[in-house]
Amino acid sequence: MTKKYKVLFITEEKSMLDSNSKVFNEVFITTDKASNEDEALALIDENTYDIVINDVSVDISNGTSFMKKIKEIQKKQEIVALASLNDEGKLAEMVDEGIHAFLITPKEFNHALEAIAQMELVLQK
Protein backbone atom coordinates (compact mmCIF):
# COMPACT_ATOMS: atom_id res chain seq x y z
CA MET A 1 0.00 0.00 0.00
CA THR A 2 1.39 3.39 -0.99
CA LYS A 3 1.42 5.93 1.82
CA LYS A 4 -0.35 9.06 0.61
CA TYR A 5 -1.63 11.25 3.38
CA LYS A 6 -0.43 13.42 6.23
CA VAL A 7 -2.98 12.94 9.02
CA LEU A 8 -4.03 14.51 12.31
CA PHE A 9 -5.83 12.09 14.64
CA ILE A 10 -7.88 13.70 17.40
CA THR A 11 -9.00 11.61 20.36
CA GLU A 12 -9.04 11.69 24.14
CA GLU A 13 -7.45 9.17 26.51
CA LYS A 14 -10.80 7.66 27.42
CA SER A 15 -11.43 6.67 23.81
CA MET A 16 -11.85 3.02 22.97
CA LEU A 17 -9.89 3.60 19.74
CA ASP A 18 -6.18 2.82 19.89
CA SER A 19 -4.32 6.05 19.15
CA ASN A 20 -1.06 4.07 19.23
CA SER A 21 -2.15 1.62 16.57
CA LYS A 22 0.77 0.56 14.40
CA VAL A 23 -1.55 0.89 11.40
CA PHE A 24 -1.05 4.67 11.49
CA ASN A 25 2.63 4.27 10.63
CA GLU A 26 1.89 1.58 8.08
CA VAL A 27 -0.68 3.48 6.01
CA PHE A 28 -0.01 7.22 6.41
CA ILE A 29 3.07 9.30 5.61
CA THR A 30 2.83 11.23 8.87
CA THR A 31 0.39 11.04 11.78
CA ASP A 32 0.20 13.76 14.41
CA LYS A 33 -2.02 13.21 17.41
CA ALA A 34 -3.99 15.64 19.56
CA SER A 35 -5.82 14.84 22.77
CA ASN A 36 -7.96 17.96 23.07
CA GLU A 37 -9.51 20.76 21.04
CA ASP A 38 -6.86 23.40 21.81
CA GLU A 39 -4.00 21.09 20.89
CA ALA A 40 -5.73 20.08 17.66
CA LEU A 41 -6.46 23.66 16.62
CA ALA A 42 -2.85 24.66 17.31
CA LEU A 43 -1.58 21.80 15.15
CA ILE A 44 -4.01 22.69 12.35
CA ASP A 45 -2.85 26.31 12.54
CA GLU A 46 0.84 25.28 12.31
CA ASN A 47 0.60 22.41 9.79
CA THR A 48 -1.15 21.31 6.64
CA TYR A 49 -2.95 17.98 6.82
CA ASP A 50 -4.48 15.99 4.01
CA ILE A 51 -6.96 14.44 6.43
CA VAL A 52 -8.11 15.20 9.96
CA ILE A 53 -9.55 12.11 11.66
CA ASN A 54 -11.75 12.92 14.63
CA ASP A 55 -13.00 10.37 17.14
CA VAL A 56 -16.40 11.85 17.98
CA SER A 57 -17.22 9.10 20.45
CA VAL A 58 -15.37 11.04 23.14
CA ASP A 59 -17.41 14.14 22.33
CA ILE A 60 -14.74 16.83 22.17
CA SER A 61 -16.80 20.04 22.27
CA ASN A 62 -19.84 18.18 20.92
CA GLY A 63 -17.78 16.71 18.07
CA THR A 64 -19.77 18.31 15.27
CA SER A 65 -19.28 21.89 16.45
CA PHE A 66 -15.56 21.23 16.84
CA MET A 67 -15.35 19.95 13.27
CA LYS A 68 -17.16 23.10 12.10
CA LYS A 69 -14.40 25.15 13.80
CA ILE A 70 -11.82 23.20 11.82
CA LYS A 71 -13.71 23.96 8.59
CA GLU A 72 -13.74 27.68 9.53
CA ILE A 73 -9.94 27.65 9.83
CA GLN A 74 -9.25 25.39 6.84
CA LYS A 75 -12.30 25.65 4.57
CA LYS A 76 -11.23 22.81 2.27
CA GLN A 77 -9.96 20.50 5.02
CA GLU A 78 -10.90 16.86 4.51
CA ILE A 79 -12.34 15.55 7.79
CA VAL A 80 -13.19 11.97 8.63
CA ALA A 81 -15.33 11.41 11.71
CA LEU A 82 -15.21 8.05 13.43
CA ALA A 83 -18.44 7.58 15.33
CA SER A 84 -19.76 4.90 17.64
CA LEU A 85 -23.30 3.56 17.71
CA ASN A 86 -24.06 6.16 20.40
CA ASP A 87 -23.25 8.93 17.90
CA GLU A 88 -25.48 7.65 15.11
CA GLY A 89 -27.78 10.70 15.42
CA LYS A 90 -24.90 13.05 14.54
CA LEU A 91 -24.08 11.37 11.23
CA ALA A 92 -26.54 13.29 9.07
CA GLU A 93 -25.33 16.64 10.42
CA MET A 94 -21.72 15.65 9.76
CA VAL A 95 -22.45 14.65 6.19
CA ASP A 96 -24.33 17.94 5.66
CA GLU A 97 -21.16 19.77 6.77
CA GLY A 98 -19.07 17.92 4.17
CA ILE A 99 -17.52 15.55 6.69
CA HIS A 100 -16.90 11.91 5.82
CA ALA A 101 -18.45 9.92 8.66
CA PHE A 102 -17.96 6.26 9.52
CA LEU A 103 -19.86 4.32 12.14
CA ILE A 104 -17.35 1.89 13.66
CA THR A 105 -16.65 -0.27 16.66
CA PRO A 106 -13.21 -0.48 18.31
CA LYS A 107 -12.66 -3.88 16.64
CA GLU A 108 -13.09 -2.25 13.21
CA PHE A 109 -10.69 0.65 13.90
CA ASN A 110 -7.62 -0.68 12.06
CA HIS A 111 -9.75 -1.65 9.06
CA ALA A 112 -11.27 1.84 9.05
CA LEU A 113 -7.79 3.42 9.01
CA GLU A 114 -6.79 1.22 6.09
CA ALA A 115 -9.97 2.19 4.21
CA ILE A 116 -9.31 5.89 4.89
CA ALA A 117 -5.75 5.52 3.59
CA GLN A 118 -7.13 4.09 0.34
CA MET A 119 -9.69 6.85 -0.17
CA GLU A 120 -9.16 8.95 -3.26
CA LEU A 121 -9.82 12.35 -1.81
CA VAL A 122 -10.07 15.49 -3.85
CA LEU A 123 -7.44 17.49 -2.03
CA GLN A 124 -8.08 21.13 -2.88
CA LYS A 125 -5.39 23.01 -1.01
- For 6-118, CATH gives 3.40.50.2300
**Averaged pLDDT, 90-114:** 82
What's the mean per-residue pLDDT of the chain?
81
pTM score of the predicted model:
0.82
pLDDT at 68 over 50: yes
Q: Which residue has the higher pLDDT, 5 or 119?
A: 5
Residue 27 neighbours by CB under 8 Å, 6+ apart: 1, 3, 113, 114, 116, 117
